[in-house]
Amino acid sequence: MMKKPFLSTLPLLILGGILTAWILHAQTKQTPMTTSDQKPAQPAKTVTKTDAEWKKQLTPEQYRIARKAGTEAPNGEIYKQFKKQGSGTYYCAGCDAELFTSKEKFDSRCGWPSFYDPSKAKNLKQIPDPDGSRVEVRCKVCDAHLGHIFTGEGFNTPTDQRYCINGTVLKFVPDEK
């Protein structure tokens, strides 16, 4: 009598599907964007740390994005939090360098925090991807991966640029009232 291969592997397929769903859920779980009531001191020089030091300072998600050039899931809790934030300043979660202000923030409906211009251009660097398809944005002070910049998308902003930034690697400080 010949075994039906599909029926014998069905439990493994189901288990594999459950495991895959669990892994994807774990990877998309986001911690809230860091917020603070006090403006951080600005770094006076380049911040360099060992991998172990970064892992100790950053959350696992921040480490994956900032140090390994990852990307957070779109339209997550951090994006919802970003959309509700009022006026204030956004700093690098790795080194506290000022990056953006809410004055340059806009809703591009892409699922990630968007800005049309950096508040302190000296704290950002742009690196074209090897294939030329986009330009990576990194913190100039600690070399954290922040996201990408896109130009010429037709947004009604003064620069027609979209800094598409991972909110996980930002620290928000609201303006003083």
What is the secondary structure of 10-60 as a DSSP string? HHHHHHHHHHHHHHHHHHH--PPPEE-SSPPPPPSS-----HHHHHHHS-H
Taking only the tens place, the pLDDT of each residue in 92-129 is 999 999 999 999 999 999 999 999 998 888 899 999 98
Taking only the tens place, the pLDDT of each residue in 73-90 is 999 999 999 999 999 999
**Would you state the pLDDT for residue 1?**
53
The verdict on residue 81 lying in a domain is: yes
The verdict on residue 111 lying in a domain is: yes
**Would you state the pLDDT for residue 24?**
41
Q: How far apart are the first and last CA of the chain?
A: 80
Kindly report the pTM of this predicted structure. Answer: 0.79
Q: What tokens appear for 56 in the block?
A: 């100790």
What CA–CA distance (Å, rounded) separates 122 from 59? 26
Which 3 state secondary structure label does DSSP give 80? helix
The verdict on residue 78 lying in a domain is: yes
* DSSP output for the chain: ----HHHHHHHHHHHHHHHHHHHHHHHH--PPPEE-SSPPPPPSS-----HHHHHHHS-HHHHHHHTT---PPTTSHHHHHHHH--SEEEEETTT--EEEEGGGB---SSSS-EESS-S-GGGEEEEE-TTSS-EEEEETTT--EEEEEEE-S--SSSS-EEEEE-GGGEEEEEPP-
The verdict on residue 15 lying in a domain is: no
Q: Are 139 and 86 in contact (CB under 8 A)?
A: no
The verdict on residue 58 lying in a domain is: yes
Taking only the tens place, the pLDDT of each residue in 143-173 is 999 999 999 999 999 999 999 999 999 999 9
Backbone angles phi, psi at 52, to 5 degrees: -65, -40
The verdict on residue 120 lying in a domain is: yes
pLDDT band at 175 (very low <50, low <70, confident <90, very high): very high
Least confident of 3-7, 19-23, 82-86, 96-100: 19-23
Is 110 considered catalytic here?
A: no
Domain count, the chain: 1
| Domain around 109 | 33-174
Give the largest CA-CA distance in the chain.
80
pLDDT band at 130 (very low <50, low <70, confident <90, very high): confident
The verdict on residue 3 lying in a domain is: no
Taking only the tens place, the pLDDT of each residue in 36-62 is 777 888 888 999 999 999 999 999 999
The verdict on residue 67 lying in a domain is: yes
Kindly report the CATH number assigned to the domain that includes residue 80: 2.170.150.20
What CA–CA distance (Å, rounded) separates 155 from 153? 6
